[in-house]
Amino acid sequence: MKLTVKIKHLVLFATVTAAVFILLLQFISPRTEIEAAQQQFDNGAAGSKERLLRLIDTTASGKQKWELIRKNIIETGSETAATGYDIYVGPNSTMMIGDQPNKQSLSLSDKLSYLEDYLQNGPSDGYLVRAARQLAVYYQTEGLPDQAAAVLDDGIKRMKEAYQSYEKNELLLQKASIYASFEQYDKAEEIFKQLGDRLGANDWDMNGRVARERAQLLISRDGIEHALIYVDSEIAAYRKSWNAAKAGKPDQESGTPAALEHLTGLKANLEYFRNRSGGRLATVSGTIMRNDGTPLAGVGVFLRDESSANRSVSEGDPYGTITDAHGHYEFRNVLPQDYQLNLGLSFDQIDGWTWPVNYDDWLEVEQGGKVIRDVTMHPLLELISPVNQQVVSGQSVSFQWEKVEGAAYYALNGQLQTRNGTIGTQLVSHIPDNRIELTLNKLYDHKFGISYTDHNNWETVDPVTLLGFANTDNRFSWSVDAYDKNGQILTRSNGYRLNTDTLGNLPFFYMKERRMTTPDTLLMKGRLSEALALYKRAWSDNAGDVHSLRMIIRLLDAQALLSRDQTGEELPYLLRMMELNPSESYAYSILDAYYTQDDWNSYTDFRARYAHLLADQFSSYTQSVYGIVLMKQGKLDEAREELRQGLLKDDSHRFVGIYLAIELAAGSSFDNVIQLAAQYPERSFGELKHPDWRLLTEEMKNEKETLPSDVYMKDVQEKLSWFIANEQEKLRSWIASTGSSPMKAFIQALLEVN
């Protein structure tokens, strides 16, 4: 069959083909190029940052351009001091935001022109608000409040009032906050007045935020007393309108709005500090740098009190700022109390570096004080062996790492992989050299904490955490911390290593010297009761089977912990283990068993026999518990000294209440006890309420002034004698039968010390 194609059809086909080709060149090809550049940037490829920015400037269409700016500029920025960081680091926590540690980050200098472009020419959307806020934070950090206010005004002008009223209020509130932070109080007050005119009674969230910000202004400008009057009135107004709204909506959920909770918490704090400090505020400042002298700009710095130290940094926190170009930060008008410093960092700032801070590191901010706290980042120390998936052979493991200048000693930590992540523990402390050899038997003996899925069912315990280093199928890791002679951490090996230049040796190794036994296999299958029975049978058949004895002890311990049935069944096995295989960990377990059973004589005798195994000079907890045991035996002078030594080593001061009770029982005056309570304040993470021993003892002193002194002190001595003699039922009966009083509050707090 013969086909005939006319010339005009060929011309039409060629024209259409050319048009499609041009379309591909103009739209599809740039889109493919942009996607490729974005992927390379996300994967951290060399040169990809410059390529991506060049494409934003030249190739991208308007829509593509704004999409790229949103994704790479605005979404990774900081609208407040509290947001926009990859890593948040504090003395007791480290948190990574997101899951892209290899993604590159753009500096503020990279971002500024694009933020300005979006603010002036981008779509009038939520991203425009974020761009304005990020620019304002930048100018605020640079000490330029008027420029910060100007970009917020530009954002406000571009907002559509009918649809973006909340966004306008957001920008106005930030503007007021910036002026207040630079002590331009009149300008800030003018904006607060504008917000008051704009907001209705039902704008719960914004009303609460405005009240908190204005309260901070009043604290700084007029003092705590004026701020208290204002907060009190705001709480009353807020509660009135909230109750009225609830009355009109019977189906509305009960509870207290977050804003009201913040205001009532602020009121309680202000009342506390007014009574304590007379309203005198403090200043906290410092510099964040690397140990080579390089300042770190753009680092978030946060002061966290003990009620917030254990939760994530949030925008509502009262003390947050960003370091300037010189790495400097400053907080003025700080309420006097104890704080922990937290940092917000980018991956680039922390990659290969660490902030060496001790777990219980606190800033003691006193009334009218000026606290300077500098932070110096140090390079992560390097591990030498065992590393890189090494399979350990022989009867010991030789751990070695690089020496650290100025280090007086090191601590070795071990970690193992569990079904939910990793779990770790300290293996050896106070190692004088940069190496240590541990026998496999010592590692097998080392007990990890347990992980479980149901706290009412001991058989849900992850068997990996029970078998520990004896599991030949598990991969183990290790890390090292270096300390100076004063016990201050200098650096560590464990941290963020995100690039090939900082990766170093991987701290992973295997231990395959032993063979898994039949009960081991049952244990790893989650059949814990069956495994326990077989371990007991193996131990019965072979009294030298240390591994089976070890696993009996661990399984019984896990069973007792989750069933909350401290029968002491494991104690005979522990005592036998001490005969066969004496070690520090088993000695501590035996002491704990005697303590749980209130067997003070056995505790003291055993401790004396095995003192050479115990690291008492390094353990504040063990020293304090021994002080309590001595107290229960009526040895008050010895008990007082042990507890005092424990307090000196433990910044949480968890046993200070018992120390104060012994001081009172020994005849110390209330003035002396109040001074000790101030010297050793108890600190507890994440709890809004905990014993304020200084306040409790002050109130007891005031109560004593209203009664005959000898009668009151005789009553105090009697109740303390009951506590010392462990006559808790007698104490609880007295508490139940007596009315509210400072003495009762003190005794109740004592009974809750753990």
Q: In whole angstroms, what is the distance from residue 643 CA to residue 634 CA? A: 14
**Exposure letters 495-530 (e unless 16+ CB within 10 A, then b):** bbbbeeeeebbebbbbbebeeebebbebbbeebbee
Q: What is the pLDDT of residue 566?
A: 66
**Amino acid identity, residue 98?**
G
- Return the SS3 of 45: coil
DSSP code per residue over 653-719:
-TTHHHHHHHHHHTT--HHHHHHHHHHS----TT-S----HHHHHHHHHHHHHTS-HHHHHHHHHHH
- Number of H-type helices and E-type strands within the chain: 30, 20
**Amino acid identity, residue 518?**
T
Q: What is the pLDDT of residue 25?
A: 46
Q: In whole angstroms, what is the distance from residue 309 CA to residue 601 CA? A: 39
Asked if the peptide bond before residue 379 counts as cis, ω within 30 degrees of 0, the response is no
**Exposure letters 102-111 (e unless 16+ CB within 10 A, then b):** ebbbbebeeb
Q: In whole angstroms, what is the distance from residue 588 CA to residue 539 CA? A: 22
Taking alpha carbons only, the member of 511, 333, 281 closest to residue 414 is 511
The residues, any chain, with a CB within 8 Å of residue 366's CB and separated by 6 or more, are 282, 336
Q: Which domains does the chain have, with CATH numbers?
A: 7-49 (no CATH), 107-248+256-277 (1.25.40.10), 380-514 (2.60.40.10), 651-751 (no CATH)
Q: In whole angstroms, what is the distance from residue 32 CA to residue 399 CA? A: 50
Q: What is the pLDDT of residue 39?
A: 78
Q: What is the pLDDT of residue 532?
A: 96
CB atoms within 10 A of CB 750: 19
Which pLDDT tens digit goes with each residue over 644-690?
999 988 888 989 999 999 999 999 999 999 999 989 988 765 444 67
Q: What is the pLDDT of residue 563?
A: 80
CA angle 409, 412, 414 (to 5 degrees): 170
CA angle 134, 283, 214 (to 5 degrees): 55
Q: What is the pLDDT of residue 662?
A: 95
Q: In whole angstroms, what is the distance from residue 697 CA to residue 453 CA? A: 42
Q: In whole angstroms, what is the distance from residue 145 CA to residue 136 CA? A: 8
Q: In whole angstroms, what is the distance from residue 438 CA to residue 591 CA? A: 24
**Contact in structure between 75 and 109 (CB atoms under 8 Å):** no
The residues, any chain, with a CB within 8 Å of residue 648's CB and separated by 6 or more, are 620
Handedness of CA 93, 99, 101, 105 (dihedral sign): negative
Tokens matching residue 314 = 């949030």
Tokens matching residue 156 = 């406000």
Taking alpha carbons only, the member of 318, 462, 479 closest to residue 411 is 479
**pTM confidence score:** 0.78
* Long-range Cβ contact pairs of 198-204 (< 8 A, separation 24 or more): 198/165, 198/168, 198/169, 198/172, 199/169, 201/241, 201/245, 202/241, 202/245, 203/169, 204/238, 204/242, 204/257, 204/259
Handedness of CA 291, 295, 300, 304 (dihedral sign): positive
Taking alpha carbons only, the member of 165, 238, 157 closest to residue 195 is 165
Residues of the chain scoring pLDDT < 50: 1-3, 7, 10-14, 16, 20-28, 616, 686-688
Taking alpha carbons only, the member of 268, 267, 243 closest to residue 256 is 243
Q: What is the pLDDT of residue 418?
A: 87
Taking alpha carbons only, the member of 349, 255, 358, 245 closest to residue 298 is 349
Which pLDDT tens digit goes with each residue over 102-124?
556 677 778 889 999 999 999 98
Q: What is the pLDDT of residue 611?
A: 82
DSSP code per residue over 550-598:
HHHHHHHHHHHHHHT----TTHHHHHHHHHHS--HHHHHHHHHHHHHTT
Q: In whole angstroms, what is the distance from residue 412 CA to residue 480 CA? A: 5
Taking alpha carbons only, the member of 361, 400, 314, 425 closest to residue 79 is 314
Taking alpha carbons only, the member of 306, 370, 296 closest to residue 337 is 306
